[in-house]
Amino acid sequence: MPKPFPMAEPNPVRSSIDHEDPEYAPLSGGAKPEDRRRPTKVILAGLSVLLVIGMMLGFFTDTKPDFCTQANDALLSMTREGAGPRSIPAEAVVRPGARGVKEGVSDKSSRIIAGVNVPSFPWNNSMLSWQRTAFHFQPEKNWMNDPNGPMYYKGWYHFFYQYNPEGAVWGNIVWGHAVSEDLIHWLHLPLAMVADQWYDVNGVWSGSATILPDGQVVMLYTGSSNESVQLQNLAYPADLSDPLLVHWVKHPGNPVLAPPPCINKLDFRDPTTAWYTSGGKWRIAIGAKINKTGMSLVYETEDFKNYKLLPGMLHAVPGTGMWECVDFFPVSEDGLDTSVNGPGVKHVMKVSLDDDRHDYYSIGTYDEKANTWVPDNPEIDVGIGIRYDYGIFYASKTFYDQNKRRRILWGWITESDSEAADVQKGWASLQGIPRTIVLDTKTGSNLLQWPVEEVESLRLSSKEFDSIEVKTGTVVPLDVGTATQVDIVAEFELDKQALGATPEADADYSCGASGGASQRGALGPFGLLVLADDGLSEQTPVYFYVVKGPNGTLKTSICTDQLRSSEASDVVKHVYGSFVPVLEGEKLSVRIMVDHSIVETFAQGGRSCITARVYPTKAIYGAARVFLFNNATEANVKASLKIWQMNSAFIRPYSDQ
């Protein structure tokens, strides 16, 4: 009969005083003076001794090296080595740091910090209802956030998500559920789990699924308890023969995990999918922090009900703050099952940083025995290096799709319009189009993300444009009709002569620090204008910007520019983007998917990705167009592209018909 560890208690915080017997009986009357003095001394001495013993017990209960003692030691040594608050890593080799002070605050807060009184735009229902997407996952209404427990089971892809059944803001969180046969055409099912137990009554928060070799499905998730403690819980399908997995059962022995003593009870959440070790046990990782050091704890289990906290921590990075939605998985040029390991297998460590609302990943080596993961390049360690996406993309989570043997990434795309507009339109948030993830074997230092091939089943009519010359300072309309639901694949080539003649640039380029597409350089910006009206009063440029460095080396950035995306001023207007590696002999290639208020960009086969939310007031419905543009001063550009109209995915509630 397995013993749950730690003991499940209805009230985890309980005073120990209830159970102590009074040590000393009160003095009875009639005691002689000398007798009275001696008891006082005894009481004093006794209490003090108890105090000392208590203190000693507190410090020395566990002589074995345990996680908490080791954690404190490890943190001390980290600080001593001067690994303090994270700094922007050096550029050169791989990728300049994306994190800067200006990006350190949430997109919205930067608006009021600027001290500007932003007038609200008179959004009408027509403008707002246009914003709903045609082929991105979103519930029929209300608020959504993190993707949860994605998996493939008996012919269906399952998707769960953080959902507020009561409104278009975060709160009252439960698990929504939807299924699809192809990751694109989703059918809504009833809520999978609601907040009906003491251990998750304050929130059924994020978690992950593990499919066991014998076909069992295990769901681990964080519950916010009746006392707001973050506890980990186990749930499983009520009926494994139901491919839709509509009903779920919570393990009667929940919770299965509580925060360890050195971890704050509010900094312990988002258990990962489990991986199977060579020792025949399962392991999961859970994100936490101590002070400002984010970390991942690792637990070992055989039955998913009893766990052992392993000493050491898979990884930790000082200065990064709380690690949310930790993800840990092996990568190669093919998708790999989460349990794959071996010499030469690289592992990805990924975290969602609470601190700046961005998802970071790093590639490194997993040492199962030592329970450590070490980044290949510490300068682009987790939290200070590469991001999955340089726009809005958070709380992302991968799963291994055993059906098509690929690793798939889900990411939560929040709104960047005003909250009042969200309330008016009655919904908030999308999920990005699921992406396959593989190791980029050409660079070896980043992942490639690409929309799942099934999205191509939505492609309707297309138009091809071959070798269009786009001269400096020009805009070329592309006659594809309405462009609110389009899939664009484009290639660009800078004029070779101009490229050679252009002198070395005197400065680097950074999308976020730039003036966007209207800031001209010798070799950029050039690309496409999406969600643009004929008069270009509203436009969202997605562009490349090339900078010539020393010895003729070229450095390329990919950016999405929201600065003139809407006449409304109560929407976020940034220039998102990053450096993107372009190897010898490669043309500049980009794929852009436009689906109403979301624009997803994938550069160089998915080396750099940018997701932006766009809220035009004019460039909507039949008025939305697409253009080519070249705002460089020195080099003409040749563009070849194909543009497809995209069908709706008709995401709707499941019905038996």
Partner 1 sequence: MKTPMLPLLLLITQLLLITILPFASADLVDDTCKKTPYADFCVSALRSDSRSSTADTPKLGLIMVDKVEVNAKSTLTKIKDLLPKSPDPGMKQALTSCGELYNVIISMDVPPSKESLTKGDYKFAEEYMTDAATEASICEAGFGVKSPLSNSNDYVNKAASVASAIARLLL
Indicate which residues carry an active-site annotation: 146
Dist CA 474 CA 628 (whole Å): 8
In angstroms, what is the minimal distance from the CB of 51 to partner 1?
6
Dist CA 649 CA 224 (whole Å): 34
Given the rule CB under 8 A, which of 113-121, 398-406, 539-547, 624-632 is the region that contacts partner 1? Answer: 113-121
Dist CA 558 CA 441 (whole Å): 21
Asked if 109 interacts with partner 1 (CB under 8 A), we say yes
In angstroms, what is the minimal distance from the CB of 445 to partner 1?
28
Taking CB under 8 A as the criterion, the residue among 10, 14, 36, 44 binding partner 1 is 44
Which single residue is written with the structure tokens 């998708």?
Answer: 335
Asked if 205 interacts with partner 1 (CB under 8 A), we say yes
From residue 562 to residue 581, what is the string marking binding to partner 1 with x (rule CB under 8 A)? --------x-----------
Residue 247 contacts residue 238 (beta carbons within 8 Å): yes
Dist CA 72 CA 77 (whole Å): 9
Structure tokens given for 140: 């029929």
Please, which residue, 170 or 276, has the CB nearer to partner 1?
Answer: 170
Please, which residue, 155 or 171, has the CB nearer to partner 1?
Answer: 171
Residue 486 contacts residue 644 (beta carbons within 8 Å): yes
Structure tokens given for 82: 């001067």
Residue 387 contacts residue 411 (beta carbons within 8 Å): no
Taking CB under 8 A as the criterion, the residue among 131, 210, 224, 272 binding partner 1 is 224
In angstroms, what is the minimal distance from the CB of 378 to partner 1?
23
126: left (phi over 0), alpha (psi -120 to 50) or beta: alpha
Structure tokens given for 266: 């509010």
- Tell me which residues in 478-497 interact with partner 1 (CB under 8 A): none
Cis link prior to 525 (omega < 30° from 0)?
A: yes
Sign of the dihedral through C-alpha 334, 338, 339, 343: positive
Please choose, from the candidates 429, 449, 486, the residue with its C-alpha nearest in 3D space to the C-alpha of residue 348.
449
Asked if 228 interacts with partner 1 (CB under 8 A), we say yes
Taking CB under 8 A as the criterion, the residue among 14, 24, 31, 47 binding partner 1 is 47
Please, which residue, 54 or 549, has the CB nearer to partner 1?
Answer: 54
Please, which residue, 357 or 435, has the CB nearer to partner 1?
Answer: 357
Given the rule CB under 8 A, which of 25-33, 62-70, 198-206, 591-599 is the region that contacts partner 1? Answer: 198-206
Half-sphere exposure of 199 (CA within 13 A, CB side): 20
Asked if 291 interacts with partner 1 (CB under 8 A), we say no
Asked if 56 interacts with partner 1 (CB under 8 A), we say no
Asked if 37 interacts with partner 1 (CB under 8 A), we say yes
Asked if 171 interacts with partner 1 (CB under 8 A), we say yes
60: left (phi over 0), alpha (psi -120 to 50) or beta: alpha
Cβ count within 10 A of residue 114:
8
In angstroms, what is the minimal distance from the CB of 175 to partner 1?
16
Please, which residue, 36 or 154, has the CB nearer to partner 1?
Answer: 36
Structure tokens given for 428: 């908030």
In angstroms, what is the minimal distance from the CB of 232 to partner 1?
14
Taking CB under 8 A as the criterion, the residue among 89, 176, 287, 321 binding partner 1 is 321
Helix (H, G, I), strand (E, B) or coil at 462: strand
Asked if 232 interacts with partner 1 (CB under 8 A), we say no
Q: What CA dihedral angle connects 506, 510, 515 and 520, to 10 degrees? A: 40
Taking CB under 8 A as the criterion, the residue among 41, 64, 80, 496 binding partner 1 is 41
Taking CB under 8 A as the criterion, the residue among 66, 354, 491, 567 binding partner 1 is 354
Instruction: Give CB contacts under 8 A, 24+ apart, made by 327-331.
Output: 327/272, 327/351, 327/361, 327/396, 327/397, 327/398, 328/272, 328/275, 328/285, 328/296, 328/366, 328/373, 329/273, 329/275, 329/398, 329/400, 329/407, 330/366, 331/363, 331/407, 331/437, 331/438, 331/439, 331/447
Cβ count within 10 A of residue 199:
26
Given the rule CB under 8 A, which of 114-122, 468-476, 480-488, 536-544 is the region that contacts partner 1? Answer: 114-122
Asked if 91 interacts with partner 1 (CB under 8 A), we say no
In angstroms, what is the minimal distance from the CB of 10 to partner 1?
19
Asked if 112 interacts with partner 1 (CB under 8 A), we say yes
Taking CB under 8 A as the criterion, the residue among 138, 208, 210, 230 binding partner 1 is 230
Please, which residue, 84 or 515, has the CB nearer to partner 1?
Answer: 84
Given the rule CB under 8 A, which of 92-100, 414-422, 445-453, 592-600 is the region that contacts partner 1? Answer: 414-422
Dist CA 276 CA 327 (whole Å): 15
Dist CA 497 CA 502 (whole Å): 9
Asked if 367 interacts with partner 1 (CB under 8 A), we say no
Residue 149 contacts residue 221 (beta carbons within 8 Å): yes
Asked if 368 interacts with partner 1 (CB under 8 A), we say no
Residue 465 contacts residue 640 (beta carbons within 8 Å): yes
- Tell me which residues in 501-540 interact with partner 1 (CB under 8 A): none
Asked if 169 interacts with partner 1 (CB under 8 A), we say yes
Please, which residue, 263 or 452, has the CB nearer to partner 1?
Answer: 263
Asked if 80 interacts with partner 1 (CB under 8 A), we say no
Asked if 165 interacts with partner 1 (CB under 8 A), we say no
Please, which residue, 548 or 574, has the CB nearer to partner 1?
Answer: 574
Residue 451 contacts residue 433 (beta carbons within 8 Å): yes
In angstroms, what is the minimal distance from the CB of 225 to partner 1?
9
Taking CB under 8 A as the criterion, the residue among 103, 355, 495, 634 binding partner 1 is 355
How many residues bind partner 1 (CB under 8 A)? The answer is 47
Binding site for partner 1 (CB under 8 A): 37, 41, 44-45, 47-49, 51-52, 105-106, 108-109, 111-113, 117-120, 167-172, 202-203, 205, 224, 228, 230, 264-267, 269, 321-322, 354-355, 357, 418-420, 423, 570
